[in-house]
Amino acid sequence: MRIVLVLFFLVTSDFVNAQRSHLEQGDDFFRKRYYVEAIQEYQLALNEKVVVKKFYMTERIAKTYRMLFDYENAVIWYEKLMEFKDENTSENCLHYGLLLMNLERYQDAKKIFEIYVRKNAINDNEYSKWCEWAILNKDSSRKFSVYKTDIETGSRSMGIAFYKNGLVFANPQIQDFTTKTAFYDLAYTECLDSVKFKKPEILPGDLNRSFYEGTPNFSSDQQVLYYSGNATTATKYRSSKAKKLRISEDGINILKIYSANLENGNWTNINELSFNGADFDCVFPFITDNGKSIYFASNMKGGIGGFDIYRCTKNDDGTWNLPVNLGSKVNSVMDEMYPFVRGDSLFYSSKGKPGFVGADIYVAHLTGGAIGEVSNLGKPFNSSKDDFSTLFRSEKGLLCGYFSSNREGSHGYDRIYYFKQHPKPIYPDTIRGIALNKITLQPLRVVKIVLTKKIIGKAPEIVDSKKTSVTGKVELVLDKNIEYSVSFNAEGFQSKVVEIPANERKDVLAMFGELQLEPSIAKNTVIKIPNIYFDYDKATLRPESFKVLTQIIDFLNSNPTVRVEMSAHTDSRGSDPYNLKLSQKRAESTVKYLIEHGIDPKRLVPKGYGETKILNHCKNGAKCSEEEHEFNRRVEMKVL
């Protein structure tokens, strides 16, 4: 029921002559919408020695394949139609262009739409714009996965509905649906694992009859079933009997919307809804949760074109008001079908709006009953074929559900698909920082880092082991929801272990911006402190030295039993006695600052070494750069 299937029954006298040609029999089936049988007769007619009405035959075969949604074969025959330059119609050009879009031949489709525009003297080539939209959006996709179910539709999906622990769908009455037109009954199939289902069971009761029952929808308590079905079970009629049989005057067995009640396990009390008519179809019902509104599609007069979506409200006395067309934001000159409302969103399928062509699924936002923005759901919901009959629900906070499509393979075979929203990606925490000497705040090279994963009930597992670069950079990647332990080890420094919780770890991770390692307090450990500065040729501390001196004070306060020697060193320029005297004064100046800030004098020993402990070749008389001399000017702290 993508495009509504209706049956055409002929006057009894039409069946008298059994000696008709295959073409006539094909036309007879075509008029009755028995397209499977029609194409078989047309193919037999093609094999006759003399093929009459060649254009007519070609057109009928092309249209029949299109009505069967066999787009591959339809394209072949519409292409043949294009050879009939004089007889061919603009309508055939339009359908051919749309079929080419079904096969994603967008550039070829644009050329055919140009012919259509010229034939109709139209200024705006709307359908070429559809091609551009499809090309622009063909690689974009929403974050959902789609899986084919094992439900057998008999090649035509005619609606699905959630029911109990599974789905109700239109089940084919016959198995030989490849060579015969199949009719459908409503059946229930229990879900095993989202895509696998048990053997379907026909719904018990009075609702299933001879022809089509489909497009099911349930009230919120699942006690009332709304569905579409043919108006009569009659197979023959006379025009004088049309009204009595509830079919149209021209013999169309129209489709109507019915309700059925669940009583003692059976679906009974079948009622035709009051807004149905005798000369138009009403199909695809969707009842809102409160039971006060019903959405459906109809080709009743006064619509925008084809089948439009309507809404009808129920009065307190149970009667229905007149249907209201949802307007041009939702409807088009082609067909709209299968409405489904979830919250303030109306999902439905349309063949007449920009998209990948075929029937695409759209969503319209409802605001106080008014229609807001309408947008194409895009891939993976939509394809270049037909996508329709959408069901949504939420499981564990993620959207999932089912829809129907003939996207796979060829020849228009409908399948029912399950879709599920991708969970929001859980990105790992990435730690980036620098390992620093806690006293000098200088980067530490070659710090060994070991990352251990801790899982309850399992032995700790080392998942990463590395060393910092010369710049002291630290980078670790931690999965969410897992507890870790990180150890840091460097020669001459105290080991550090940081426990990282599985959750609520923001404050812990923040400390990694500047990861400070404390020097070892082992005896004779020497710590070079390069960033203590004095005025030129003096022992006066410069203000930029105070930051590192504060770090030394913190270290001594954290280790109250430690005694240290604060030594000062000069470069080799100047006399040895002078340098020795200057370095002693500078050492004493450093110690004085520490004492003034609360450090016990008994823990501090000032010592000036002058140029007696040069670290490189820059001794007396050596030619050295300023940088090389600067390397020897320093203050050191030695643990005593």
Taking alpha carbons only, the member of 386, 402, 312 closest to residue 350 is 386
Fold of 7-137: 1.25.40
Superfamily of domain 526-639: OmpA-like domain (3.30.1330.60)
In the structure, what pLDDT confidence band is assigned to residue 248 with cuts at 50, 70 and 90? low
pLDDT at 17: 39
Amino acid present at 203: L
Taking alpha carbons only, the member of 133, 123, 76 closest to residue 100 is 76
pLDDT at 24: 85
Q: How many CB atoms lie within 10 A of CB 147?
A: 10
pLDDT in tens, 414-443: 899 999 999 888 888 888 888 888 888 888
Question: How far is Cα 323 from Cα 317, in angstroms, rounded to an integer?
Answer: 17
Q: Where are the domains of the chain?
A: 7-137, 150-339+409-421, 429-517, 526-639
pLDDT at 2: 47
Q: Which CATH number fits domain 429-517: 1.10.1060.10, 3.30.10.20, 3.30.590.20, 2.60.40.1120?
A: 2.60.40.1120
Q: Is 325 helix (H, G, I), strand (E, B) or coil?
A: strand
- By residue count, the chain amounts to 640
Taking alpha carbons only, the member of 422, 327, 345 closest to residue 391 is 345
pLDDT at 563: 94
Task: Tell me which of 116-120, 510-514, 555-559 is least confident.
Answer: 510-514
pLDDT over 80 (residue 236) = no
Pair 32, 9: CB distance under 8 Å: yes
Taking alpha carbons only, the member of 274, 362, 377 closest to residue 326 is 362
pLDDT at 521: 86
pLDDT at 9: 41
Q: In what order do the strands lie in the sheet with 213-218?
A: 213-218, 224-230, 255-263, 266-272
In the structure, what pLDDT confidence band is assigned to residue 68 with cuts at 50, 70 and 90? confident
Question: How far is Cα 445 from Cα 83, in angstroms, rounded to an integer?
Answer: 79
Taking alpha carbons only, the member of 435, 436, 441, 446 closest to residue 475 is 435
In the structure, what pLDDT confidence band is assigned to residue 364 with cuts at 50, 70 and 90? very high
pLDDT at 119: 84
Amino acid present at 558: S
Question: How far is Cα 447 from Cα 441, in angstroms, rounded to an integer?
Answer: 15
In the structure, what pLDDT confidence band is assigned to residue 381 with cuts at 50, 70 and 90? very high
pLDDT over 90 (residue 1) = no
Once rounded to an integer, what is the mean pLDDT over residues 499-507? 87
Angle, alpha carbons 135-366-314 (nearest 5°) = 130
Phi, psi of 298 (to 5 degrees): -155, 150
pLDDT at 125: 82
pLDDT at 7: 40
User: DSSP characters for 213-277?
Assistant: EEEEEE-TTS-EEEEEEES---S-B-GGGHHHHT--TT-EE-EEEEEEEEETTEEEEEEE-TT--
Give bridge partners of residue 511 from the DSSP assignment. none
Pair 287, 294: CB distance under 8 Å: yes
Task: Tell me which of 229-238, 424-433, 462-471 is least confident.
Answer: 229-238
Please state, for a pLDDT cut of 90, what percent of the chain lies above it. Answer: 52
Question: How far is Cα 595 from Cα 587, in angstroms, rounded to an integer?
Answer: 12
Task: Find tokens 């000098």 and name the residue.
Answer: 440
What's the CA dihedral at 205, 208, 213, 216 to 10 degrees? 10
Q: How many CB atoms lie within 10 A of CB 238?
A: 12
Task: Find tokens 């769908």 and name the residue.
Answer: 169
pLDDT in tens, 579-636: 999 999 999 999 999 999 999 999 999 999 999 999 999 999 889 998 888 888 889 9
Q: How many CB atoms lie within 10 A of CB 593?
A: 19
429-517 shares its CATH topology with 526-639: no
Q: What is the mean pLDDT of the chain?
A: 87
Predicted structure pTM score = 0.69
